[in-house]
Structure 1
Amino acid sequence: MTRNCAALQKILYVEDEEDIRAVAELALESVGGFTLRSCGSGQQALQEAPDFAPDLILLDVMMPGMDGPSTFEALMGIPDLADTPVIFMTAKVQSDEVAYYKKLGAIDVIPKPFDPMSLADQIRSIWARMED
């Protein structure tokens, strides 16, 4: 998958915790300069993602109802989103857990809690690695 680093503009962010979502929105929009669409659930992400057409999906793992892996599989089942890179954000970052997320198809995992001041740069760095 070859992408131009400059092409990363639109991020779909799926997080059920409102306070975490607010911090990430500030970090990604105000600090990072990205266009962000935030969703509070996997179901909302499935409704909004096709029209938003994100360049990247940031996905919480532990959510009520549809968890992150279930949401990931459902999003990848939408033809226009099937090649959209996904990064999981989670506190569950044991090596076997990270290996599982990558086996699902995630390009990387960002540990929570994340640093709001460096989140955008962290995402840009992961994005740039996809070109290698």
Structure 2
Amino acid sequence: MSTKHILVIDDEKNLCIIIKTCLEYFGGWQVRTSTESKHGLLLASTEVPDAILLDVIMPKMDGLMVLTALQSHSMTQNIPVILLTAKVEKQDLIQYTRLSIAGIIVKPFDPLKLAVQVAELLKWEKIENVRIHAHQSQ
């Protein structure tokens, strides 16, 4: 089985570091990050990752605009996208359900469970929680 590649597009640099670390350590995936929407779109079209974690609220070009751009480009339209958002009011959730996305992860999230959440939303092979259990028993 080949290693999955994930692209994280989020304007919060420290959050990108946390997400990258969690997904690489607990998921065993390769993770690239971008703190800028346009750079994230470039990475998505040149590297064609297996999935994208996309922040909804970003300056200049928000996540929903990025999602539209991804879905309108032949190289990126089939990449599953998971939205990362703290914006979870009823009308927001209704809007998200109308989008062609793999799912939503609400901020703040539990870093120790992030890889499992991502794998479940993408219907990827179940992640062994060996590292999580080993960490919790110490």
Same structural fold, with TM-score higher than 0.5 when normalized by the shorter chain: yes
Question: Do structure 1's residue 110 and structure 2's residue 105 form an aligned pair?
Answer: yes
2:52 match: 57
Quote the sequence identity (%). Answer: 35
Aligned-pair Cα RMSD in Å? 1.7
Contact 1:15/1:39, CA 8 A, preserved across alignment: yes
Paired with 1:98 and 1:11, the residues of 2 have a C-alpha distance of 24
Paired with 2:3 and 2:102, the residues of 1 have a C-alpha distance of 14
Deviation at 1:68?
A: 0.3
Residue-by-residue CA offset, 1:95-116 (whole Å, 9 max, x unaligned): 3212212312112110001111
Question: Do structure 1's residue 79 and structure 2's residue 74 form an aligned pair?
Answer: yes
Residue-by-residue CA offset, 1:46-103 (whole Å, 9 max, x unaligned): 1111121111111000000100000111111210111111110000122321221231
Paired with 1:102 and 1:37, the residues of 2 have a C-alpha distance of 26
Query: Runs in 1 of length 4+ with deviation above 2 angstroms?
Result: none
Deviation at 1:24?
A: 0.5
Paired with 1:55 and 1:86, the residues of 2 have a C-alpha distance of 9
Query: Which residue of 16, 25, 28 corresponds with 1:30?
Result: 25
**Higher gyration radius (CA):** 2
Deviation at 1:32?
A: 1.5
